[in-house]
A and B are shown apart, each in its own frame.
Chain A
């Protein structure tokens, strides 16, 4: 039944052109992915701006939610980077809200999860990587290269250790982006696959239905968790760039 409708579990990840745009042979169409990124930005802005509209001393529910998200990231930065981390608050907070809303909007039926595309997550991770590397050079100049030589290493070991350290450093944007993308892709595909069993199994379909309900809860947890992991890793990278060893 599920098969004859042609509903593949992967169909939800198909990128569709909404407004085809072609500039100089480069396809820069406005896609459903771009649409949901815009929605995420609008929802985040609405949530924050309207939540703080009154900014009362005794906050209402909405304002508490906004303040909690603010304090959450502020504490995260304070714990990982320290007082110097305050100036990086805007970028971390923006990243966190963007990834979080991307994940959560993906949980709405018939919507599109832009964080389930490696192109999106890798672009973000690579931008962070470049930014953090530039930050390291700005803060430490050529001294930044000592980053790749752990203190107390014998000189004989350096030719072996430095390439390993550099590879380890270069693997950061990949592990950062793959972690988010794989989690979202796997979770959403799993829900669709299990949901496909419901209609096929008839009365026994109650079992996969229960499983889908549980998985949906788990996915919402993972949506928060992955946004948190993305933010905390960015904080740790900034911490490394500032403090080196």
Chain B
């Protein structure tokens, strides 16, 4: 009889584990903002640089290919350079304003994600 409490059944253990995990998860959510402070600065800078440059690179690449194909040197390259820059800024905007890395404004799914605050 007295041995009941120290040897709980697996179900009870499971319930306890689940409660503990939920508690930890909730704490993680609370702390996730402050935790990633100074360490994230460099990573963020690199991330944004890559996001921007890759979009410009893709734009210029498409422009050059179309120019080569349609023999309209250098005009399409210029047009797509501008479009690529716009796409780069769009990427940065999405990264920063919590839409994630996605194309489109997937703020719906951003609501579920705790670490990025949807701008809705």
| Residue among A167, A169, A178 making CB contact with B50, cutoff 8 Å | A178
- Do A171 and B51 contact each other (CB < 8 Å), given the known contacts A147-B103, A179-B46? yes
Residue of B nearest to A173 (CB): B54
- Do A167 and B106 contact each other (CB < 8 Å), given the known contacts A79-B113, A182-B46, A182-B50? no
Whether A245 contacts B105 by the Cβ 8 Å rule is yes
Cβ of B106: which chain A residues have Cβ within 8 Å of it?
Answer: 239-240, 243-245
| Residue among B43, B51, B86, B113 making CB contact with A225, cutoff 8 Å | B43
Number of residues of chain A lying within 8 A (CB) of chain B:
32
Bound-state Cα–Cα, A175 to B47, Å: 8
- B98 contacts the other chain (CB 8 A): no
- A183 contacts the other chain (CB 8 A): yes
Whether B109 contacts A243 by the Cβ 8 Å rule is yes
- B15 contacts the other chain (CB 8 A): no
- A43 contacts the other chain (CB 8 A): no
Bound-state Cα–Cα, A171 to B109, Å: 21
Whether B102 contacts A167 by the Cβ 8 Å rule is no
Cβ of B90: which chain A residues have Cβ within 8 Å of it?
Answer: 164-165, 168
Whether B87 contacts A164 by the Cβ 8 Å rule is yes
- What is the minimal beta-carbon distance from B57 to any residue of chain A, in angstroms? 6
Cβ of B87: which chain A residues have Cβ within 8 Å of it?
Answer: 164-165, 167-168, 171
- Do A175 and B51 contact each other (CB < 8 Å), given the known contacts A225-B43, A233-B101, A243-B108? yes
Cβ of A82: which chain B residues have Cβ within 8 Å of it?
Answer: 112
- What is the minimal beta-carbon distance from B41 to any residue of chain A, in angstroms? 14
Cβ of B84: which chain A residues have Cβ within 8 Å of it?
Answer: 167, 171
A146-172 vs B, CB cutoff 8 Å, 1 = contact: the mask equals 011011000000000001110111111
Cβ of B102: which chain A residues have Cβ within 8 Å of it?
Answer: 236-237, 239-240
Residues of chain A touching chain B, judged by Cβ–Cβ distance below 8 Å, are 57, 79-80, 82, 147-148, 150-151, 163-165, 167-172, 174-175, 178-179, 182-183, 225, 233, 236-237, 239-240, 243-245
